[in-house]
Structure 1
Amino acid sequence: MSKPEPKTSRVPSAPSAWALVGHAPSLMRDPAGFLAACRDSGHDLVELRLGPRRALLLCKAAVVNRVLAEQAEDYGKGGPFWDAMRPILGNGVGTCDGDEHKRARRLLRPAFNRAAVNGYSEMIDDSASVLAESWRPGQPVRVAAEMMAFTSRITVRALLPTIDEAEVERFVRMMPILTEGAFYQLVLPSFAQLLPTAHNRLYQKTRAEARDAVARLVKQARAVDEQAGQCPAHQGHGLLASAIVTGRQEELPPFTDEELADQVMTVLFAGIETSANVLSWALCLLASHPETADRIAEDTEGEVVHRVIAETMRLYPPGWIFSRNSTRPVELSGHHLPAGTDFIISPFLLHREPRVFDRPEQFDPDRWRDMDPDVKRSYLPFGLGPRRCLGELLANAEMVAALTTLCRRWRFSLPEGRTVVPRFRSVLIPHGLELDVHPR
């Protein structure tokens, strides 16, 4: 057990700081090792320097729970991560605060409730079947690209079922560029973000293209709404139409076109890359544990696949790092901190805490069979508290459908000599993943 932090406003510095750029090189070169070193320092929070900017890394689950749940009203969606994401997402439900956030969440909630998600089940199951039937024995599967296309089609068609395939493919192409660009905006000093490098130019060009594509989606959704009248999403008109209808029915100002565009960008970013990478990691793990894939194929109750998804997100949470910013003076672990303090939270770090998870580096889906409720306080693949992810039900539905369908149709194995390593960007990517597939 760690010693209690002293009553002081001074926070110890994280290890491995560089002159001028601070901890950015350590965080970019070996994020997992750097985060573990911060945790092993024994402190509840340590100070990071990202260029001239400073932020506090929260190393213990109890402190994270205070920030995300118990005292969530004292912390907003600021800090380095959200500052990097805001140029992409705008002021959507994932980035706005206070009354704006409450309004956005209330307007969007009906589009993501269980009835609405059940309305997408046929489309999700059909998409999973098409995916499984498209694979061929003897042809290596480029898993990341396949999962990205799968989740893109589901997410975009859930937003607007009438969208044409060319628009879907456009989002499939853009999302990896935006993901990588956002990570560099997070860790690089501000001057480096402004340099006219090829990487920066591509990111800025793609970001503008994405906003244009989303504006077209919103325009189409308005047209669908005018033709269909007040019709909820589960009757086939999509998430966007549902948000428009809810805006008329609730005693709240409805979304403007610009606000709808921000919500769409948030849903796309949260719904495509995150689920795609969880599915990719799950298939990678199942290729190394074929007996577990066999259990999924044989399980008629769906219990095994849910445990596999939970364990995959423990080991490889898609949102491996994010931030908060204090909106008023706060006290954490004896440290008195001013308003405007930035905080870094890493589910990747918390999910591998050996004092919480037995054998934390080992893939063990059955640990979730009888999980201690207290342990779940350290588990946050969908966040915690009032900002918990709205799309959790939809994400789980598409992941269950994909893994169940693929495991019943195929056996997976990693090509001989293939090494898969985590690539830490704004999401956690299984770099180098290909699979050999064999019919059952």
Structure 2
Amino acid sequence: MANNLLRLFLESNLANLKKNGLYNEIDTVYGANGPMITIGNKSFINLSSNNYLGLATDPRLKKVAQEAIGSHGLGSGAVRTINGTLDLHDKLENKLAEFKGTEAAIAYQSGFNCNMAAISAVMDKHDVIFSDALNHASIIDGCRLSKATIIRYEHSDMDDLRKKAKQAISLGKYKKMMIITDGVFSMDGDIAKLPDIVDIAEELNLITYVDDAHGSGVTGNGYGTVKQFGLEEKIDFQIGTLSKAIGVVGGYVAGKKVLIDWLKARSRPFLFSTALSPADIAASIKAIELLMDSKELNQALWENGNYLKHGLVKLGFNIGKSETPITPCIIGDEKVTQLFSNRLYDEGVYAKSIVFPTVPKGTGRIRNMPTSAHTKEMLDRTLAAYEKVGREMGLI
């Protein structure tokens, strides 16, 4: 490295992260990311994937992806506004709108891109955004990019939201005001109070924006958190991902046609990044069709999530306030949390530690992500490992 100041900065800060238990070791998975994974030459029960419905390895998705490569090639060849919009893109967006109960939808290259694109395309320095304190990093970055004033409200605290919104209105200086929340909060597994948020928005004339990355395919019989509360006509922006329960890659915004037309004209990731590939689009369409045709995978996911939750609570672990299959096992201290994860690894369970800055200091946790593809035998082996390591470390 040519610049010594850069080297010193990097080395000292990496050393500090490792000293404080905040450095995340990255493991390479050999083969598919399913309920079982292989790292090195060892097999693990996989509880760290967002592949909620097991669709990332579904043979039906593989088949249509291969067919799309045969008919449409590997890449889309351009950005959407030049000649990168394939007939498959139109089909996907129509299917997404049907799935989310909206007039239209727009697809992006990732869920992260959605939040970078949609927020900054609508909000600017003359506006204000009320953002839940536990919103995802992509929402935070999207808000920053917009240059709007950002006001955080306490997590799911509707009194705090209403108070801060009224205070902002009283200043009389903001043109537009938006409430942004995750539908399902990925670190705790709790669900946003969307009916209350809609009530406040209607009372104070606020735009509503829900990022349901961890809800789509999971809540509302698979249709998502907005659908669970019957609020399709009340939420202005429905954000989703194709990378989690759908099992592929990409993201989307669903809403009124006028909103989607504006995003196609003004959202920068749509305008300046090559479009989703044919195989990814075809597989995503197939996954959504499967979700709409059958509730079998969704029901299996919830059964497995509830089974694991019950087992951990019975052992004496703290799983917080999760309302979804996302099952945090809250340990607290960062170093202890990482040691716990490492010991689970030794026992053949791959469940990664989540520590600061992803979660607040002192709330380190193992985030377990059971899927519909796990068997009860896998979950029983997981619970046995938790019991062994928990007793060994004096945590239960």
Q: TM-score with structure 1 length normalisation?
A: 0.23
Structure (1 or 2) with the greater strand fraction? 2
Query: Where is the helix percentage greater, Structure 1 or Structure 2?
Result: 1
